[in-house]
Amino acid sequence: MRRRGTGDPAGRAAGSPAPTGRRDRSVVVVTSPGCAECRRIAPDLDAAAAAHPNVHLERLDAATATEQARSLGVRGTPTIVGYRDGSEVVRSVGRMSRDDLDRLFGELGADDNVTRPSASLTDVKLRAGAGVALVTIGALTGPVWPLVLVGIALAGYGLAGLVRGGPR
């Protein structure tokens, strides 16, 4: 289901206000009817939006909201524009992986004033998985304490990503 954005159709540039006039965190996705990539990322967008309810997802159809898409400076679809506190902070054109989308939503939804890198689910899984593997191998073959200690540190780092508010 597509929802049209509303707001000021004036020209857009980095730092310019969100088209919907929202002052909080939002992602505007511009799609077009013939765009296969737009259809492909639609479920990933929904998943990222569901995982980050404090980031509003807005969809624009370039075919029907042509002026608004033009005012956003859209040159290809999908174009994904992230707004934080009402100003554009990130823009991406073309394919984005599920992890990249999750990271974009996570960075926009972060509570800090400074946008910081956030751990994606892949990061958490890799850290925890590598840590557990090293601990297990180190414990079963010795124990080989360097492997065990590095594994504990990695596993702890990975799990800390879960505890710190979950992967974003």
Partner 1 sequence: MGFVNEAGWDRITRVALGVAILTLGWTGVVDGAWGTFFKIIGFVPLLTGLVGWCPAYAMFRFRTNSRSGARTAA
Query: Looking at 108, 147, 161, 168, which residue binds partner 1 (CB under 8 A)?
Result: 147
Return the biggest CA–CA distance within the chain. Answer: 68
Does residue 142 bind partner 1 (CB under 8 A)?
yes
| Token pair for 96 | 């984005």
Least CB distance from residue 163 to partner 1, whole Å?
Answer: 18
Number of residues that bind partner 1 (CB under 8 A): 45
Q: Cis before residue 53, ω within 30 degrees of 0?
A: no
**Stretch near partner 1 under the rule CB under 8 A, chosen from 8-16, 21-29, 45-53, 130-138:** 130-138
Least CB distance from residue 126 to partner 1, whole Å?
Answer: 5
**Stretch near partner 1 under the rule CB under 8 A, chosen from 3-11, 21-29, 47-55, 68-76:** 68-76
For residue 102, the surrounding DSSP H or E stretch is helix 98-109
Does residue 47 bind partner 1 (CB under 8 A)?
no
Does residue 109 bind partner 1 (CB under 8 A)?
no
Positive or negative torsion for Cα 97, 101, 104, 106:
negative
Does residue 77 bind partner 1 (CB under 8 A)?
yes
Least CB distance from residue 93 to partner 1, whole Å?
Answer: 5
Least CB distance from residue 30 to partner 1, whole Å?
Answer: 8
Q: Is 2 helix (H, G, I), strand (E, B) or coil?
A: coil
Does residue 94 bind partner 1 (CB under 8 A)?
yes
Does residue 29 bind partner 1 (CB under 8 A)?
no
| DSSP calls for 9-77 | -S---TTPBPTT--SS-EEEEEE-TT-HHHHHHHHHHHHHHHH-TTSEEEEEETTTSHHHHHHTT--SS
